[in-house]
Structure 1
Amino acid sequence: MKFKKPNQHGAWAMIIMPVLFGMFASSFNFYQILFFAAWFMIFFFIDNLLFYVKQRKKQIGYVKGSLLFLAIATILLIPVVLNDYRVLFFFLAMLPFGAINLYFASHRNERHILNDFSAITIFSIAGVLACFIGTHQLHHNMIYVFFISFLYFVGTTFYVKTMIREKKNIKYKYLSFGYHTLGVIAAFMIHPLIGIAFIPSLIRAIVLYGKPLKPMKIGIAEIGNAVFITLFIGLFITQHLN
């Protein structure tokens, strides 16, 4: 049995941040904790399975490992589903985007921008699901949770590409600069706190562009940015959406 753990900052942030936003935007309950734990297991299940799919020399140990994570996730989710079976519809909504991720993994093209957007959509839906578990109804807060999560992680995707794999691609430079600028404007239109939360993302996208930073330093800076935006978004949600 083999296991693969995510070695990128973005993966950990996408697991944690949207779910926290969803929890902030709803009434906290124990089922959200069960879902949060299950969500980690689901991610490990998918990550190990996709890693197996893209291998040229298949190692069945990763399939066994992924099935173990799936079994743990299923056990954790049983009380959540019994409490409100409608959570299953959110998982169904994730499936088409998961199929896209599977396609790109099988073609060893996981860096494709569409693959990134599909993954971001899945994690943003997870935030909406966390909110639903706390409210047991479709609520306008879910729109904020999805939009803020999607807006942030798309910007992060553009930024990281300009710093590593597309750092010589001028089109990505202006796409990143333009997206982050519009993102800050859109964030301020929602609320000043959200606008402030997105300002560091714009600054780092412009100031750090072209700097010869190693991936580890880029990741450390992103951890700081993720913590900052989580605190401000959490402050906005708890004060203005509840």
Structure 2
Amino acid sequence: MMKFKKPNQHGAWAMIIMPVLFGMFASQFNVYQLLFFAAWFMIFFFIDNVLFYVKQRKKNFAYIKGSLLFLTIAIVLLIPVVLYDYRILLFFAAMLPFGAINLYFASKRNERHLLNDFSAITIFSIAGLLSYFIGEGQFDTKMIYIFLISFLYFVGTTFYVKTMIREKKNIKYKYISYSYHLIGLILAFIVHPLIGVAFIPSLMRAVAFYGKQMKPMKIGIVEIANAVFITVFVGIFITQYLN
């Protein structure tokens, strides 16, 4: 018998999708990118189920069986991609140390630790680089933009969500979130006005919603809307000015 854990965090869907899209926007389209995109979803489901199993007090091996199904599908999807360019394995190798950190915090049932969040964000940001590399087949300065935009956006989201849920009574996180979003917005405008515009709603919601009682579902819906907004403007910047 197999069991599957359904991802219940809205932010996880954004982290799966956005960096990969950024990588695709910045590169020449390649059908292997679509195979990787599909495989990336399967890899996420595999890892999510493994971490869920690890943090259980009473282990249910059915989740491992379910995770192995996702892993098998991912491998089948990735075989053509690896045959196309075996160097993509370097990106997966780069993810492993951060995956080990996530595994450690899952075993300690402390997945809300900032280091755990940053490690996960790094993995998803590397996926954006992988997506770009499949299309371009080379390492170049565009990868810096792809990685940093993804990483910095999701770090801001992490601080914001903590001020709304887990750390909503911790004044320290309020000022960290405010400062981070303000400095990030200034730097975004320095990079390009389109990037600056993309990050305006992030600062607005960090300030406007702080201290308000909002259900996790509503917070998630707002984050999805913000993620779509950023993806559109970053996509325009990448396709029109970065390429």
TM (norm. structure 1) is: 0.99
Match of 1:49 in 2: 50
1:59-208 matches, cutoff 5 A: 59-208=60-209
Count of residue correspondences: 242
Question: Structure 1, residues 181-208: CA drift from partner, whole Å, max 9, x if none?
Answer: 0110111111110000001000000011
- Distance across 2 between alignment mates of 1:64 and 1:142: 36
Deviation at 1:102, TM superposition (A): 0.2
Match of 2:25 in 1: 24
Match of 1:225 in 2: 226
The amino acid that maps onto 1:194 is I
TM (norm. structure 2) is: 0.99
- Distance across 2 between alignment mates of 1:44 and 1:102: 14
Cα RMSD for the two superposed structures: 0.5
Q: Show structure 1 runs of 4+ deviating over 6 A.
A: none
Question: Structure 1, residues 163-183: CA drift from partner, whole Å, max 9, x if none?
Answer: 001000000000000000011
- Distance across 2 between alignment mates of 1:75 and 1:241: 33
Query: SS at 1:210's partner residue?
Result: coil
Deviation at 1:5, TM superposition (A): 1.5
Deviation at 1:214, TM superposition (A): 0.9
Question: Structure 1, residues 102-122: CA drift from partner, whole Å, max 9, x if none?
Answer: 000000000001000000000
Deviation at 1:45, TM superposition (A): 0.3
- Distance across 2 between alignment mates of 1:117 and 1:173: 18
- Distance across 1 between alignment mates of 2:220 and 2:85: 38
| Structure 1: segments with no counterpart, 5+ residues | none
Query: SS at 1:165's partner residue?
Result: coil
Match of 2:7 in 1: 6
Question: Structure 1, residues 21-41: CA drift from partner, whole Å, max 9, x if none?
Answer: 000010001000000000000
- Distance across 2 between alignment mates of 1:133 and 1:4: 30
The amino acid that maps onto 1:176 is S
Match of 1:212 in 2: 213
- Distance across 2 between alignment mates of 1:83 and 1:220: 38
- Distance across 1 between alignment mates of 2:69 and 2:240: 40
Give the percent of matched residue pairs that are identical in Structure 1 and Structure 2.
79
- Distance across 2 between alignment mates of 1:123 and 1:55: 24
The amino acid that maps onto 2:226 is N
Query: SS at 1:233's partner residue?
Result: helix
- Distance across 1 between alignment mates of 2:182 and 2:114: 20
The amino acid that maps onto 1:210 is G
